[in-house]
Amino acid sequence: MEYYNYIKSLHLIFVITWFAGLFYIPRLFIYHIEANDKPEPDKSILSKQLQLMTKRLWFIITWPSAILATLFAVILLVLQPVWLQQPWMHVKLTFVVLLIIYHLKTHQMFKQLQRNEVKYTSNFMRIWNEGATLILFAVIFLVILKSAFNWIFGVIGIIVLGILLMLGIKLYKRIRNKNPEA
């Protein structure tokens, strides 16, 4: 148990870097998708550069962080198995499973864009980018509030946050359509 706080610290560090990668990679996807609409040689130059940037972010930061965050989480659960009996931990682990699914789907999108296969719009990617945000909010509130968490207000809060994020995306789209340089 003397190493518990070190392991917890490492877990948090890698959760933060994992989310940093998950927040930034869809932004690079957006740039890549929008580069497809540019004339040559801009399209080829931008696509090549964005593929390199996403590859480095994905394999040097995001994947290693995901693996290490998960490894340290498992170690923490082994050291504190009583947490597995807590209802809030069951909900948190459900969100972690959703995060892993989100990560794997993002990996699929990454592979497609590495082949220059554009299957999504930049607007879809802006919405997709908010998935990690919703999961992060849910997990942080669960961990901090634990059993004091009122589930009704929590669900309502996540829904309101989702609505606000979608309204923000729509507002940004309007501003961008009026001013393409934005």
Place of tokens 């948090």: 12
Residue 39 has phi, psi (to 5 degrees) of -75, 160
Contacts for 102 with CB less than 8 Å, ≥ 6 apart: 22, 131, 132, 135
Torsion angle (degrees, nearest 10) of CA 66, 71, 73, 79 = -170
Residue 111 in marked binding region? no
3-state helix, strand, coil in the chain (%, to 5): 85, 0, 15
Residue 107 in marked binding region? no
Q: Is the dihedral of CA 24, 30, 33, 36 positive or negative?
A: negative
CA distance 27 to 29: 5
Structure tokens at 77: 């659960």
Known binding-site residue numbers for heme: 11, 92
Known binding-site residue numbers: 11, 92
